[in-house]
C-alpha cells in the first residue's frame, strides 16, 4: 500500500549563524541552498509540508477532541485526574492547544513556502514537478484556512523567512487571507493528480481540493464574512466532485464483522485500509511495532469506549454523547448505535466484557465511531496512540455541502433532495440510488426547513469528526444551540459533578462572543510587536 513518507524535514531558514557571538555555523541543519536538488528531495520536502497535519495540535488530537467537542454533539467526561480546560471553554491565550495549533500551521506554511521557492531547482519531469507544486500550494492554503477560521485576521505568509529577526508581522484582514486561500487552492486544483492516479488518501487529489474549496466557500458565505456569493462557488466545486465520477458512498460491508456500509468506513480506517471513493483525504497515521523511528501516531478511538484491556484496545471513554444527538436519529438509522455505543466495557488488564446500557441511560453513552478492537493485532496495540487514519474529507460531506449550497442558491430542488437522501439511505443501510419511504426526507420542505434538516443531518453523519463547532459558528447558531444544551444537562440523570462542569462549559461558551474565535497565542503576542489580540481576550 502506498503511504505518504513520514519524514520530518528540518531545514533552517537562517542565513547567518545560530550564535553571532561565537560566529559559528550550525551543523545540525541543511541550508536551503544545499537542498531541493532532485525529485526525491522535493518529495521529501513535500512530506515535511504534510507532517504537521498529523501533529498533536491538529488531527492527531486537538482539532476533533480538545478544541472540537463541547457542542451539541458531545461532552468531555470529567474525572478528577483528567481535567482539560479547552473542553469546557476554560482557557486563555497561554493554553498549549491554543499555542500549538498556531505554531504547527505556521511551521507547515514555512515548509510549503521553502518548497515552492525551490520547486524549479532540479531537472525532472515537468508533470511530476507541477503535481508537487500543486500539493504544496494547497497545503499552504489549508494551513492558512485553519488559522483564519479559528483566529480571524492572521499574518498571511507567502514567502520563506529570510531573517530570524523579522518577527514583527501584522495581521492580514480575514477577507484578504481567504482571497489568497482561494487563489492557491484553485491553482493547486489544476496541478494535482486525480484520486485514481494517486490511489490513496494520504495525498490530496484534484477532487479532494475541490471538496475542500467547497468547505472554504461555505465558511466564507457564513459568519463572520457573510459573503453569500460564495454559496454559488461552493455549489460549483461540490458539483465538480460529483461529476468526476471518482467517488461514491460506500455501499458494501463485511457482514462477518459489521452490519452496515456506514460502519465499514471507520473499520477500514482502524485497519489502515484506504477507500478513496469515500474517504477523499485522510490524516495518515502509522505504527510499526515498537520501532518509534517509523511512528506517526494518532489518538483516534483512544478517547472512546473506556477499556483498560490492551488486547481489546485501551481507551479513556472521555467523549460522551448528548441526548440531543442520540434522539436525532430516526428508527432504523444504523448510524446511531454505531456512532454512540449501546454498550460499555467492564474490563480488567486481561478481560473485557460488553454490558448493555439501560434504555433510559443515554447521557452516559460514549462515542464509538472508531473502535479499537478492530485494529489489527500487529503491531501490538499501544495504550495512548494508534495508527487509525482521520478522515479530513469524506464524500458524504461533499454531498451534504452540495445539498446545502444548492438550497441556498436555488432552494430545495431535486438535486438538493437527491444529495441528502443518498446520505440518509446509506445510514439506513439501503441502496443509495433507490427512493425510500423510510429514509428519504418528506417532499415539499421550504428553504428554511430544508436548511434545518441539513444542519441536523450533518450532525448525524459527521459527528465526532471535528466539524460541528465550525458549522455552528458559520451558521450563526453557536450561542442559541449551546444555550439550549444547559437545560438538557440539568434535567438529565448525569452525576452532579458532571452536570456542574458540562453546564459551566456551555454557559462560558455563550457568555461572550469572544469564543467564536480563539485568542492569539501568548507566544506570538510576546514576540511579535505588530500583533494585536482578538476582542475579549
User: Mind giving me the DSSP string for 301-332?
Assistant: TTTSS-B--TTT--B---EEE-HHHHHHSPTT
Does the structure show a pLDDT above 70 at 246?
yes
Instruction: Say if 435 falls within a structural domain.
Output: no
Chain segment 123-149, per-residue pLDDT in tens:
999 999 999 999 999 999 999 999 999
* Structural domain range at position 101: 32-192+516-527
* pLDDT at residue 2, as a whole number: 37
Q: Domain tally for the chain?
A: 2
Assess if residue 21 is contained within a domain: no
- pLDDT at residue 81, as a whole number: 53
309-334, pLDDT tens digit by residue?
999 999 999 999 999 999 999 999 99
Q: Tell which of 368, 388, 408 closes a domain.
A: 388
In-domain check, residue 333? yes
Question: How many Cβ atoms sit within 10 Å of the Cβ of residue 223?
Answer: 14
Task: Give CA–CA dist 344/74, Å, rounded.
Answer: 17
Query: What pLDDT was estimated at residue 22?
Result: 36
Q: How confident is the model at residue 24 (pLDDT cuts 50, 70, 90)?
A: very low
SS3 527: helix
Question: Do residue 172 and residue 313 come from a single domain?
Answer: no
pLDDT at 1 > cutoff 50: no
Q: Would the pLDDT of 301 be above 60?
A: yes
Closest CA to 503 of 474, 483, 517: 483
55 and 184 co-located in one domain: yes
pLDDT at 247: 98
Q: Is residue 121 part of a domain?
A: yes
Q: Distance between CA 269 and CA 424 in Å, rounded?
A: 21
In degrees and rounded to multiples of 5, residue 225 shows phi and psi of -70, -40
The pTM of this model reads: 0.94
Quote the mean pLDDT of the chain: 91
Overall average pLDDT of the 329-349 stretch: 97
The two counts, helices (H) then strands (E), for the chain are: 18, 6
Region 422-442: what's the mean pLDDT? 98
In a domain, 117, yes or no: yes
* Arithmetic mean of pLDDT, 36-57: 97
Question: Mean pLDDT throughout 438-451?
Answer: 98
Q: Say whether pLDDT at 66 is over 60.
A: yes
Give yes or no for a contact between 139 and 108, defined as CB atoms under 8 angstroms apart: yes
Are the C-beta atoms of residues 248 and 320 closer than 8 Å to each other? no
Residues in the chain: 537
Coil, helix or strand for 290?
coil
Q: Does the N-terminal peptide bond of residue 224 adopt cis geometry, omega within 30 degrees of 0?
A: yes
DSSP collapsed to 3 states, 236-289: HHHHHHHHHCCCCCCCCCCCCCCCCHHHHHHHHHHCCCCCCCCEEEEECCECCC
Q: Does residue 7 have a pLDDT over 60?
A: no
Is residue 400 a part of any domain in this protein? no
Note whether residue 289 is domain-resident.
yes
Question: What percentage of the chain exceeds 90 in pLDDT?
Answer: 84
- Tell me, letter by letter, the H, E, C secondary structure of 367-430: ECCCCHHHCCCCCCCCCCCECCCEEEEEHHHHHHHHHHHHHHHHCCCHHHHHHHHHHHHHHCCC
| Percent of the chain clearing pLDDT 70 (strictly above) | 92
Asked if pLDDT for residue 19 goes beyond 50, the answer is: no
Which residue, of 354, 388, 422, is where some domain finishes?
Answer: 388
Q: Is the same domain home to 45 and 177?
A: yes
* Per-residue pLDDT at 10 exceeds 60: no
Query: Phi and psi (nearest 5°) for 340?
Result: -125, 110
CATH number at residue 170: 1.25.40.890
Give 384-431 pLDDT, tens digit per residue: 889 999 999 999 999 999 999 999 999 999 999 999 999 999 999 999
- CA dist 68 and 410 (Å) reads 32
Mean pLDDT for 504-529 is 95
Whether residues 60 and 170 share a domain: the answer is: yes
Higher pLDDT, 489 or 291: 489
Q: Which of 360, 388, 416 is the last residue of a domain?
A: 388
- Going by the DSSP 8-state scheme, the letter that residue 16 receives in this structure is S
pLDDT band at 244 (very low <50, low <70, confident <90, very high): very high
Q: 188 and 289, same structural domain? A: no
Checking if the pLDDT of 530 tops 50, the result is: yes
- Alpha-carbon dihedral angle through residues 228, 233, 239, 243, given to the nearest 10 degrees: 170
Assess if residue 169 is contained within a domain.
yes
- Residue 155 pLDDT greater than 80, yes or no: yes
pLDDT band at 289 (very low <50, low <70, confident <90, very high): low
Amino acid at each position: 500500500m502506498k503511504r505518504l513518507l513520514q519524514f520530518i524535514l528540518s531545514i533552517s531558514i537562517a542565513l547567518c549563524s545560530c550564535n553571532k557571538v561565537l560566529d559559528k555555523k550550525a551543523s545540525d541543519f541543511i541550508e536551503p541552498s544545499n537542498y531541493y536538488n532532485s525529485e526525491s528531495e522535493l518529495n521529501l520536502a513535500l512530506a515535511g509540508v504534510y507532517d504537521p497535519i498529523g501533529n498533536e495540535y491538529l488531527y492527531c488530537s486537538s482539532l476533533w477532541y480538545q478544541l472540537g467537542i463541547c457542542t451539541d454533539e458531545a461532552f468531555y467526561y470529567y474525572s478528577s485526574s483528567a481535567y482539560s480546560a479547552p473542553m469546557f471553554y476554560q482557557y486563555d491565550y497561554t493554553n498549549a492547544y491554543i499555542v500549538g495549533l498556531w505554531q504547527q500551521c505556521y511551521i507547515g506554511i514555512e515548509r510549503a513556502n521553502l518548497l515552492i521557492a525551490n520547486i524549479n531547482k532540479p531537472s525532472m519531469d515537468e508533470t511530476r514537478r507541477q503535481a508537487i507544486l500543486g500539493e504544496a500550494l494547497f497545503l499552504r492554503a489549508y494551513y492558512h484556512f485553519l488559522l483564519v477560521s479559528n483566529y480571524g485576521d492572521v499574518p498571511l505568509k507567502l514567502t520563506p523567512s529570510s531573517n530570524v529577526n523579522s518577527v514583527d508581522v501584522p495581521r492580514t484582514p480575514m477577507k484578504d487571507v481567504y482571497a489568497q486561500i482561494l487563489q492557491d487552492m484553485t491553482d493547486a486544483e489544476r496541478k494535482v493528480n486525480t484520486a485514481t492516479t494517486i490511489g490513496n488518501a494520504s495525498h490530496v487529489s484534484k477532487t479532494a481540493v475541490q471538496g475542500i474549496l467547497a468547505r472554504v466557500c461555505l465558511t466564507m458565505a457564513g459568519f463572520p464574512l457573510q459573503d453569500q456569493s460564495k454559496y454559488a462557488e461552493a455549489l460549483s466545486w461540490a458539483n465538480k466532485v460529483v461529476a468526476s465520477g471518482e467517488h461514491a458512498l460506500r455501499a458494501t460491508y463485511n457482514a462477518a464483522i459489521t452490519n452496515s456500509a456506514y460502519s465499514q468506513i471507520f473499520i477500514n480506517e482502524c485497519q489502515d485500509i484506504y477507500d478513496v471513493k469515500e474517504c477523499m483525504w485522510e490524516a495518515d497515521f502509522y505504527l510499526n511495532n515498537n520501532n518509534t523511528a517509523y511512528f506517526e501516531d494518532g489518538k483516534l478511538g483512544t478517547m472512546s469506549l473506556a477499556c483498560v484491556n490492551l488486547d481489546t484496545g485501551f481507551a479513556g471513554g472521555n467523549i460522551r454523547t448528548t441526548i440531543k444527538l442520540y434522539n436525532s436519529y430516526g428508527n432504523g438509522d444504523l448510524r446511531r448505535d454505531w456512532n454512540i455505543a449501546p454498550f460499555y466495557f467492564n474490563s480488567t488488564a486481561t478481560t473485557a466484557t460488553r454490558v448493555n446500557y439501560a434504555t433510559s441511560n443515554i447521557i452516559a453513552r460514549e462515542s464509538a465511531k472508531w473502535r479499537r478492537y478492530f485494529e489489527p493485532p500487529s503491531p501490538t496495540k499501544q495504550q495512548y496512540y494508534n495508527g487509525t487514519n482521520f478522515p479530513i474529507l469524506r464524500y458524504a460531506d461533499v454531498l451534504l455541502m452540495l445539498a446545502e449550497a444548492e438550497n441556498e442558491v436555488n432552494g430545495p430542488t431535486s438535486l438538493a433532495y437527491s444529495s441528502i437522501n443518498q446520505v440518509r439511505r446509506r445510514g439506513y443501510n439501503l441502496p443509495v440510488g433507490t427512493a425510500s419511504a423510510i429514509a428519504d426526507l418528506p417532499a415539499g420542505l421550504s428553504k428554511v426547513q430544508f436548511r434545518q434538516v441539513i444542519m441536523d443531518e450533518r450532525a448525524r453523519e459527521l459527528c465526532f469528526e471535528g466539524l460541528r463547532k465550525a458549522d455552528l459558528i458559520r451558521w450563526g447558531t453557536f450561542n442559541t444551540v449551546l444555550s439550549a444544551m444547559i437545560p438538557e444537562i440539568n434535567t438529565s440523570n448525569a452525576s452532579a459533578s458532571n452536570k456542574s462542569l458540562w453546564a459551566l462549559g456551555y454557559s462560558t461558551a455563550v457568555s461572550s462572543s469572544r469564543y467564536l474565535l480563539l485568542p492569539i497565542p501568548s507566544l506570538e503576542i510576546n514576540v511579535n510587536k505588530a500583533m494585536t489580540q482578538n476582542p475579549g481576550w
